Structure 1
Amino acid sequence: MVSSYSEPSVYVKHVCFTNFTEAPWYYVERKQIFPDLPLPDPNWLKKDFESCVLKGDRECRYLEGEVHEGIGDHRRQTLFFCGHSEKCTPFNTVGALERAKLAVEKHYAVVGVLEDMNTTLTVLENYIPRFFQGATNVYYDQLNSFTRINRNFFKPPVSEEVKNLVRGNFTREVEFYQFCKQRLYRQYRALKLRSDVL
């Protein structure tokens, strides 16, 4: 499907980085691939995050090098930027971190951060105007509908104790996030410097 689009095109879907120059690929919904996969136990679905972490349940341990059920998981950003290589799958490893950083530098004009939407939108508008010209205006015009769609009123609070336990195992995820954030701010400062010269 993606290869049938004319250039330039935008494909919006929650998928790992794919280097289209190295290998073609296709994406099929999980249920289509595993139609007989059983649904999780209702008690597991009702389990809160704090209990999961404090009891050391497998899905909340976040152990370095662990592979989640033989596939990548959605608990981290490095996986999405690292890609589909087996070296990307183990959790919180130096190899996945370095591959993710390299992919960002080599293949992404801009990687934004949600905590600083103004900077992200400014950089996107200036670095990729063909797709993002006017994005700031669109974003603020639609802001009320965005907050309604993505708000979770049933999300229970998580204590600082549990957050600190989890942070301790996400060291390379935090490093990757800081790397992307610093890169974004360098791009923003470059725009300011360029406008000062002009």
Structure 2
Amino acid sequence: VLPFPSQVVYNRVGKCGSRTVVLLLRILSEKHGFNLVTSDIHNKTRLTKNEQMELIKNISTAEQPYLFTRHVHFLNFSRFGGDQPVYINIIRDPVNRFLSNYFFRRFGDWRGEQNHMIRTPSMRQEERYLDINVCILKNYPECSNPRLFYIIPYFCGQHPRCREPGEWALERAKLNVNENFLLVGILEELEDVLLLLERFLPHYFKDVLSIYKNP
């Protein structure tokens, strides 16, 4: 007998602690025996109609119970005849998120990788070491784009209007959160978020808080 829900999607927002959560999910999937479905695609969040259909088909045919995770804007499974999964996500203070991305693009992350050199090979040294205050005060495009780090599409979806900041996108995002998301947590309160996930989805997240505190 499959637990309920047996189809969960974590369409993770970038620079919101998702690397930590995915590491926890790898441990939990082995511990609890659910199917953790990941993706090698990390930088394509907007999909064509055919790409949406193909991805939804691939997710829907995964062995259940599954938890699928990828950086991707909200997908409406029912639009393409699929069973709508339960969604979860985590967001964070926008200033902290901006800071995290600014330095990640330049110097990688805590793993000490050099992949930031691959990610931004054309970045000049003076740009890589540019003081963030100068970037902001002098209105460099990287620090002044009005759509900078726009997260609404992760909840609004794949419709082109979701990428246009405004009331329509916001209202659709709120509707989707109310109808499709079991939980949208805040990174600054991660321990509380993990505790709620453990309570709401025990067959996926049982013991997650203790694992997080005692890796």
TM-score, normalised with respect to structure 1: 0.52
> In the alignment, what sits opposite 2:67?
10
Deviation at 1:23, TM superposition (A): 4.0
Equivalents in 1 of 2:145, 2:197: separation in Å? Answer: 33
- The equivalent position to 1:86 in structure 2, one of 157, 160, 164, is 160
Equivalents in 2 of 1:23, 1:56: separation in Å? Answer: 43
Q: Deviations over 1:32-79 (max 9, x none)?
A: xxxxxx95442544434322221222232243xx5xxxxxx7x13222
- CA 1:49/1:88 → structure 2, altered by over 3 Å: closer, same or farther? farther
- Which structure features the higher share of strand residues? 2
Q: Deviations over 1:161-187 (max 9, x none)?
A: xxxxxxxxxxxxxxxxxxxxxxxxxxx
1:59 partnered with 2:142: yes
Q: Secondary structure at the match of 1:109?
A: strand
Equivalents in 2 of 1:58, 1:23: separation in Å? Answer: 38
Equivalents in 2 of 1:5, 1:137: separation in Å? Answer: 29
Cα pair 1:79 1:96 within 8 Å, conserved: yes
Equivalents in 1 of 2:193, 2:132: separation in Å? Answer: 30
Q: Counterparts of 1:105-120 in structure 2 under 5 Å?
A: 105-120=178-193
Equivalents in 2 of 1:48, 1:8: separation in Å? Answer: 47
Task: Give the counterpart letter for 1:15 in structure 2.
Answer: V
- CA 1:14/1:47 → structure 2, altered by over 3 Å: closer, same or farther? same
Deviation at 1:106, TM superposition (A): 0.9
1:139 partnered with 2:209: no
Question: Using CA pairs below 8 Å that are at least 6 residues apart, which structure has the higher relative contact order?
Answer: 2
Task: Give the counterpart letter for 2:132 in structure 1.
Answer: F
Equivalents in 2 of 1:40, 1:77: separation in Å? Answer: 26
Q: Deviations over 1:134-175 (max 9, x none)?
A: 211121122xxxxxxxxxxxxxxxxxxxxxxxxxxxxxxxxx
Flag structure 1 segments of 5+ consecutive residues without an equivalent. Answer: 25-37, 67-72, 143-198
Flag structure 2 segments of 5+ consecutive residues without an equivalent. Answer: 1-57, 82-119
- The equivalent position to 2:171 in structure 1, one of 77, 98, 118, is 98
TM-score, normalised with respect to structure 2: 0.48
- CA 1:39/1:85 → structure 2, altered by over 3 Å: closer, same or farther? farther
RMSD: 2.7
- CA 1:54/1:101 → structure 2, altered by over 3 Å: closer, same or farther? same
> In the alignment, what sits opposite 1:126?
199
Deviation at 1:108, TM superposition (A): 0.9
> In the alignment, what sits opposite 1:35?
none
1:20 partnered with 2:103: no
